[in-house]
Amino acid sequence: MTPTDARIHLFRAGSFPHVLVVDGSRIYEIDQETYRRLEAGELGLETSSYVTDEAPRTMPVRSLSLAIAQKCNLGCTYCYAQEGAFGAEPKSMTREVALRAVDLLFSEADPKEKLTLAFLGGEPLTNRPLLREAAETAAAMAAAQGIRIAFSITTNGTLITPEDGEFFERYGFAVTVSLDGVGQAHDLLRPFKDGRGSYERILRNVEPLLRMQRRMQVSARVTVTPSNPALRHTLDELLARGFSSVGFTPMLASPTGLGQMGAAELAAMLQEMIACGLECERRILAGERYGFSNLVTALRELHKGTHRPYPCGAAGSYFGVSADGELASCHRFVNDGAGKMGDVIQGVDRQAQRTWLEDRHVHRQSPCNECWARYLCGGGCHHEVIHRGRPACDYIRGWLHYSLQAYARLLKLRPDYFAQSN
Amino acid sequence: MPTIEPKNLSAQLAYRGRGNPPSTHPSSAIANCFPGLETDFRNLWKRFLVGVEFHEALNTVVAVEAGSAAAQAGVTANHALTSVAGVNLLPFFPAGRVAWTLDWSNIVAPLQVRAGQTVACEFRIPGGAPAPLVVNLEIRRILTPDTVAIEPDAAEPGALTQSLCSPWQADYRECLCFYWAASRPDFVNVETADGVSRGHNWMTRNRTAATPKNYIEEGQPGLVTYEDLYRSWESMLRFVVGGNDAD
């Protein structure tokens, strides 16, 4: 990695020198001499500013995730929701709360934008009838008001039925199944509460959905801990099963501390991620589809030049809704005072939102304000940062450095790939 | 010569060509009045149909490419486009040719989703036969796909700046109505008698001491025109000293 100042980041794609101008996430190919002079600090840099210190004062609600069931039939050791109940009594959302939440989502809807309604938990399918009613209600409201809406669900996959698949297909759900590896690697991390493995059951349940996905997209999300480091094997196995995409996220903050990744494990994970990325590049060059979502997403965002002072939409346009109807900064902050944002009756607590947006702005985060990756990373997951800090900065920078190289290589060799992805 | 080539979309948008001043960027432009002080985007629509060149703000044909489908069908300069791809333009051009500039852009820009397709077009000579000349023409692609670059065929070099207003002349003439700052007069050679003031509008063309002192209102003949200012402002405008023309 090239040491440089935090306004630019130099990288090579093959032998071709490039520079990322951090503000605006602008990517340029430059000549060898310019590269050398930038590296040596001989060239000044004058750049217009796209990201200011100012936080947005308020943002309308665009996305909600409903913790439709704060209970779960699995006993994953690292779960931020502490086996699904967020450290409290297991409970399900009431009909009134769910429908109030849908009303809230539509209360500030702008026909030009797209709303998102997500179902999380706990395991959301333990409260199936309400999930369906909420989705049907929202779809009907969207149709009546001429507003676009997208649905998503994150599920452990143990309770999914073919009828669920038909429902998700009808409403075009993005279905994310949590799978932490193949077979035993998964079972070790994601057992039923009585200790039995869940992998076989999940794959059996999900198989009909994989076959029927047209509007619906079924993807796998892999939480990476020190005990499931074989990413490339997991990726190929799950893609071969028919998942439309597979993404990996390192476990950085668990309530128990179990399964958290340390520096050495993150370094090893980076190597695995790059191995997956190189295979993905090879497949793209060959004109094949290969749903390694971490790289596919990175390529899309780098091509657009996405730059933002936050890691996600939490407490901006996105909120989590607890089973009791309280709003939280996101689905991870349910029952967590640090992210309290009002409730579905009163709406968003605008003062709390403003404070959050001001405090969490990446310019207010240290050492982020001195990091070249700040507008690509946004400062890291708020939940992880607040509860553990930032143990993964080298990993994130390493991955972004690789992604920049992959982008520049592919743009040279397969510019048509980016034309398609727009 | 150092090479700095923008690669991704945000870099392309922010790119400033070698030798171009900062004002060539839309983000740093003033552009407070059409056709703008920096670029005139209306020129992008002049060639939106392959083979035909329109006036930048009107449905009027100014040129037809020899041998093109339009030429073969008999379209000539002075024809007006009255329908394109099923969009009836007559309501926008009640008098045949007069339109507000942005209306024209707003009509033509959405047709870009059909770039590359051939669509039915109707042309008429204003005041001529009511039956239109119907011809199928291709909608030209204005932007290179998936970039923010203008297609070379859509605009010749210099096209984006060729119809800019000449700022001071245009604004100077535009602000005729007692609006312009104190640096110029408006009512000159004034004589007051019996409580009535008589004098010249300072834009009265070719006035002398003998020119009757009737104030000419904007819109009436006899005032200096925009073209007069563009072509020979220095002979059209006169020094005024103490409220009177200085000869």
A302 touches chain B (CB under 8 A): yes
Q: How would residue B59 be classed by pLDDT, with cut points 50, 70 and 90?
A: confident
CA distance A39 to chain B (A): 15
Contact B8 A307 (CB under 8 A): no
Chain B residues touching residue A408 (CB < 8 angstroms) = 7
Above 60 in pLDDT, residue B97? no
CA distance B160 to chain A (A): 24
Most A-contacting residue of B1, B3, B10 (CB-CB within 10 A), to test interface: B10
**Average pLDDT score over chain B:** 83
Above 60 in pLDDT, residue B156? yes
Query: Residue A210: phi, psi to the nearest 5?
Result: -60, -35
Contact A30 B4 (CB under 8 A): yes
Of B5, B27, B146, the CB nearest to A418: B146
Q: How would residue B16 be classed by pLDDT, with cut points 50, 70 and 90?
A: confident
CA distance B156 to chain A (A): 25
Q: What is the pLDDT of residues B168-198, one digit of tens each?
A: 777 777 766 665 555 667 889 999 999 999 9
pLDDT of residue B190: 93
Cis-peptide, bond into residue B221, ω within 30° of zero:
no
Chain A residues touching residue B7 (CB < 8 angstroms) = 18, 27-29, 408, 411
Contact A302 B8 (CB under 8 A): yes
Chain A residues touching residue B27 (CB < 8 angstroms) = 48
Of A33, A48, A408, the CB nearest to B7: A408
| Average pLDDT score over residue span B198-207 | 92
Which residue, among A412, A400, A414, has the nearest Cα to A9 in the 3D structure? A400
pLDDT of residue B33: 47
Query: Residue A383: phi, psi to the nearest 5?
Result: -65, -45
| Average pLDDT score over residue span B120-130 | 87
pLDDT of residue B220: 87
Chain B residues touching residue A30 (CB < 8 angstroms) = 2-5
ipTM at complex level: 0.85
CA dist., res. A314 & res. A105, Å (int): 15
Contact B14 A24 (CB under 8 A): yes
CA dist., res. B58 & res. B73, Å (int): 21
Give the CA distances from residue B215 to residues A9, B171, B211, B238, in Å, rounded to whole numbers and listed in that order.
67, 21, 11, 17
pLDDT of chain A along its 422 residues, tens only? 333 458 999 999 989 999 999 999 999 999 999 999 999 989 877 777 889 899 998 789 999 999 999 999 999 988 888 887 888 889 999 999 999 999 999 998 888 789 999 999 899 999 999 999 999 999 999 999 999 999 999 999 999 999 999 999 999 999 999 999 999 999 999 999 999 999 999 999 999 999 999 999 999 999 999 999 999 999 999 999 999 999 999 999 888 888 999 999 999 999 999 999 999 999 999 999 999 999 999 999 999 999 999 999 999 999 999 999 999 999 999 988 889 999 999 999 999 999 999 999 999 999 998 999 999 999 999 999 998 999 999 999 999 999 999 999 999 999 999 985 44
pLDDT of residue B17: 72
CA dist., res. A45 & res. A140, Å (int): 53
pTM, two decimals, is 0.75
Above 80 in pLDDT, residue B102? no
Q: Is the dihedral of CA B5, B9, B11, B16 positive or negative?
A: positive
Of A18, A30, A305, the CB nearest to B10: A305
Contact B11 A24 (CB under 8 A): yes
A419 touches chain B (CB under 8 A): yes
CA distance B145 to chain A (A): 7
Position A252: which residue type?
L
Chain B residues touching residue A418 (CB < 8 angstroms) = 146
3-state secondary structure chain A: CCCCCCCEEEEEECCEEEEEECCCCEEEEECHHHHHHHHCCCCCCCCCCCCCCCCCCCCCCCEEEEEEEECCCECCCCCCCCCCCCCCCCEECCHHHHHHHHHHHHHCCCCCCEEEEEEEECCHHHHHHHHHHHHHHHHHHHHHHCCEEEEEEEECCCCCCHHHHHHHHHCCCEEEEECCCCCHHHHHHCCECCCCCCHHHHHHHHHHHHHHCCCCEEEEEEEECCCCCCHHHHHHHHHHHCCCEEEEEECCCCCCCCCCCCHHHHHHHHHHHHHHHHHHHHHHHCCCCCCEHHHHHHHHHHHHCCCCCCCCCECCCEEEECCCCEEECCHHHCCCHHHEEEECCCEECHHHHHHHHHHHCHHHCCCHHHCCCHHHHCCCCHHHHHHCCCCCHHHHHHHHHHHHHHHHHHHHHCHHHHHHHC
* Lookup: tokens for A226: 């020190």
Task: Give chain B's contact residues with A (Cβ, < 8 Å).
Answer: 2-11, 13-14, 27, 145-146
pLDDT of residue A46: 75
Q: Is the dihedral of CA A49, A55, A57, A59 positive or negative?
A: positive
Which residue, among B149, B133, B113, has the nearest Cα to B52 in the 3D structure? B133
Contact B2 A418 (CB under 8 A): no
Is B59 within 8 Å of B81 (Cβ atoms)?
yes
CA distance B66 to chain A (A): 34
CB-based contacts of A113-116 (< 8 A; 24+ apart in sequence): A113/A62, A113/A148, A114/A62, A114/A147, A114/A148, A114/A149, A114/A150, A115/A62, A115/A63, A115/A142, A115/A147, A115/A148, A115/A149, A115/A150, A116/A62, A116/A63, A116/A64, A116/A149, A116/A150, A116/A151, A116/A152, A116/A318
pLDDT of residue A107: 93
pLDDT of residue B168: 73
In the block, tokens 């794609």 appear at: A13
Is A183 within 8 Å of A142 (Cβ atoms)?
no
Which run of H or E residues covers position B197?
Answer: strand B196-201
Q: What is the pLDDT of residues A183-220, one digit of tens each?
A: 999 999 999 999 999 999 999 999 999 999 999 999 99
Beta strands A340-343 and A347-348: pairing type? antiparallel
Position A243: which residue type?
F
Chain B residues touching residue A21 (CB < 8 angstroms) = 11
Is A395 within 8 Å of A270 (Cβ atoms)?
yes
Which residue, among A322, A329, A324, A323, has the nearest Cα to A348 in the 3D structure? A329
pLDDT of residue A39: 92
Chain B residues touching residue A48 (CB < 8 angstroms) = 14, 27
Is A191 within 8 Å of A197 (Cβ atoms)?
yes
Q: What is the pLDDT of residues A16-49, one digit of tens each?
A: 999 999 999 999 999 999 999 999 989 877 777 8
Query: Residue A323: phi, psi to the nearest 5?
Result: -55, -30
Chain A to chain B, count of Cβ pairs less than 8 Å apart?
58
Chain A residues touching residue B13 (CB < 8 angstroms) = 305
Of B3, B8, B13, the CB nearest to A31: B3
